[in-house]
Chains A and B, each alone.
Chain A
Amino acid sequence: MTATLAADRAVGARRVSVTRGYRFELVKLVSQWRIRLLVLACWIAPALFVAAVSQQSSLPVDTLFGRWMHATGWAGPLVTLGFAGTWALPLLTSVVVGDVFASEDRLGTWRHLLVAVRSPRRIFAAKALSSLTVILLLVVGLACSSAAGGLVAVGNHPLVGLDGHLLTPGDAAGKVLLAWVCVLAPTLALAAVGLLGSVALGRSPMGLLLPALVALAMQLAQMLPLPMAVRVALPGYAFIAWNGLFTSPAQLGPLLIGVVVSLVWAVTATALAYLLFLRRDFTNLTVDGSGRRVVTVGALPLAGVLAATVGVVAVATPTTGSGIEQDKVQRSVATAFAHLYRMQTTQLHRPDVTEAQLKATATCNKGGGKLAAEGPGNDWRCVVSWHLPDVEAAGSAIYQLDVTPDGRFVADGDGPKEVNGYFLVRTQTGDAPNPLWQFDGNVELLHTTKG
């Protein structure tokens, strides 16, 4: 008997590896109908949406690059990206990550999981990695599907950038890909907030909603006339800052800051969620880990991160106020006008001119000159002047600008009719959209690029 016992002597507890835990969590996630539906929706719906919108006569001109959806298939994924950053990605992270810990509370499976895996650390890692995998799958689906829809419906054509310059299809593809990669950073930040909410709020539905609520708060903040340093230091800024990739030279400063801030939030929120999870007492089923103290422990450090990033951005960047200043608006409008004028010249088969020959300048004021020429608003007015080779008189055109707090503007042509007063131009092959009638532009909020 003793010999049998010695042979039988139990070995110490063997923990399950993170890899196997990750597969286990992935199986659980993918088995849920809502996750399957989301995956299907993200891989199919954007293609259908982009293809359908591209065939319509009226385009979503309020959305960035929406006015170019007839011109190139690469506008579709950017329109989708703009929509995704506002609604889809926060909601996707809510549904996937906001429930990843809370679902075990709801199902009463924590003890079962702990007995099976025997390591809260590995459970946390497996859950975080598996939910991240699903989110990546969804984001890749959105990007690939919208690009495929656009390319199939419209084709692989050059894309007009936010300063009017033309990107070759290859450049457009690269920048579209880069833009989607950049929004992974704020998506990770929201996912980390979702992890934190799911750990800290337990069975409460607030845990599920937290990423969406945080994203909504960030969007509201972006709509308010906040100082530029605060705006850029918010973790959701990278959802907007990818716009800077589509100017020449690219406005990389705000984008890099936005990405770094998002990653700092992602790391901090994940670390907080991890610490809270390890402190939880799983032997007491009546307690799901939530509580005022837990929420405070989770929220206060994030408030500290926000304050610190605002401080760092404020010190590191010379821009104060809204960042929307007269000279930057004038420069953006003139640059975009010059690029688009060349495009119009090509459409009309006129002799080619270069941007350097045009020497376009813009003179802008706000509120009819009665207000200080700075800050967002729809009361900006610009007069653009340019020169044609061998023509002594300068041409001029008027634009009404609607500048939003994030630096984006829509310039609406106000005449003369031959240049920008009508939405069509008559070409040898028929009427075509007039690129100078209305165009989108972007004012760089930070002084980080020259040109």
Chain B
Amino acid sequence: MDAPLAIRARGITKCFGDVVALDDVDLDVAQGQIHGLVGPNGAGKTTLLGLLLGLAVADSGRLEILRTPITRALAAPDGVAGFVDGPGLYPSLTARQNLAALVALRDQDARTAGINDVLDQVGLTDVADDRASGFSLGMRQRLGLAAALLTKPRLLVLDEPSNGLDPAGKRHVHAVLTRLAADGTSVVFSSHRMDDLEALCSEVTILAAGRVVFTGPLTKLAAENRELYYRLRTSDPQAARRLAADTAGIHIDDDARARDAEVLVIRALVPALDDLVMRLVHAGIAVRELAAVVSPLEAAFLALTEQQEALR
């Protein structure tokens, strides 16, 4: 049985004057799913996240969030939290005071609202009583996430949450998002970092020029993808090059040879690549390294968005 939907969007269109920010966008996000939004600058990611947070209402189309139809601005149901365009913190307040002020705004008791717990989750306990004015971008992002966690969200909407994060901060954020999803919270976030998307998301939506050019599981994206570039390092580069040239579906990138004669860069679909590897093994050539030059997601992203841009 399919998981119930936290977000169901159909035919969403949003314009700012003459600019079409979103054009007939469909989006389904299941409960407990981490869903990535990816696209070039100006693709409409922030506008879509803004609609999900209730900051604006679509010009046309239907949007249901946590099974509540959204028909006017600022009407997102309780249980939706997050941020777009930065976490929205007050620099004159400490991290703890920022959270306490939000707790007071919601008429919660600061002692029982779990401020210390969320600070701990995002790894900011040590700087809880420092003013936010001294925080780095990564720390502000984590504090913004902590503020969202205070509401115990069932849908978390985050715009570029990995911006400025150091490896430790990234680990904290990934752990929090993974745990939330495991507990049934849906997470929608935008990012330009393919490694984040690949590490966290079960599904992604690629936007280009306000339109959805792909939505679905990452595996489907890789399968739909065209040829990828691979780096191939072997025990006998010359022989490997000859074999690759003889293998159907393998294209050799000669430009790469000038940079490193020991490495062969090839362009191929997965079946042709498999064929080449078997032929290398039969020929007694050891494969020492075989890796995609760019990730499948990044390759797909570039291919799909460039294709969409070309159509405009």
What residues of chain A have their CB less than 8 Å away from a CB belonging to chain B?
1, 5, 8-14, 16-17, 20-21, 23-24, 27-28, 31-33, 107-120, 282-285
Contacts and interface: CB of A to CB of B under 8 A. Distances in A.
Interface string B87-113: 111111100010001101111000000
Contacts of A13: 54, 74-78
B139 interface: no
B101 A27 contact: yes
B84 interface: yes
B88 A112 contact: yes
Interface string B281-297: 00000000000000000
Nearest to B86: A108
B16 A12 contact: no
A108 B104 CA distance: 21
A282 B67 contact: no
B204 interface: no
Q: Which residue, A8, A13, A113, A120, has most C-beta atoms of chain B within 10 A?
A: A13
B93 A27 contact: yes
20 contacts: A1-B1, A9-B67, A10-B68, A11-B77, A12-B77, A12-B78, A13-B74, A13-B76, A28-B90, A28-B101, A31-B92, A108-B88, A109-B90, A111-B53, A111-B88, A115-B55, A115-B81, A115-B83, A118-B54, A283-B55
Q: Interface residue tally of chain B, by bracket?
A: 35 or more
A114 B74 contact: yes
A31 B76 CA distance: 30
Contacts of A114: 55, 74
Contacts, number: 111
Binding site secondary structure of chain B = loop
Question: Which 4 A-B pairs give the minimum distances between C-beta atoms?
Answer: A112-B88, A10-B77, A10-B66, A283-B56
B50 A283 contact: yes
Contacts of B4: 1, 5
Contact of A117 (B1, B77, B105): B105
Contacts of A10: 65-68, 77-80, 154
Contacts of B305: none
Given A107-B89, A108-B85, A115-B74, 8 more contacts: A8-B66, A8-B154, A9-B67, A24-B104, A33-B92, A111-B50, A111-B83, A118-B74
A107 B91 contact: yes
Q: Which residue, B81, B92, B93, B97, has most C-beta atoms of chain A within 10 A?
A: B92
A111 B84 contact: yes
A16 B74 contact: no
B49 to A, nearest CB: 10
A111 B86 CA distance: 9
A282 B46 CA distance: 13
Contacts of B205: none
B135 to A, nearest CB: 13
Given A10-B78, A28-B101, A16 B106 contact: yes
Contacts of B90: 28, 31, 107, 109
Contact of B92 (A16, A28, A112, A282): A28
Q: Which residue, B67, B78, B89, B90, has most C-beta atoms of chain A within 10 A?
A: B90
Given A13-B78, A28-B90, A116 B102 contact: yes
A20 B55 contact: no
A379 to B, nearest CB: 55
A20 B107 contact: yes
Contact of A11 (B54, B78, B85, B97): B78
B47 interface: yes
A411 B91 CA distance: 55
Contacts of B76: 13, 115
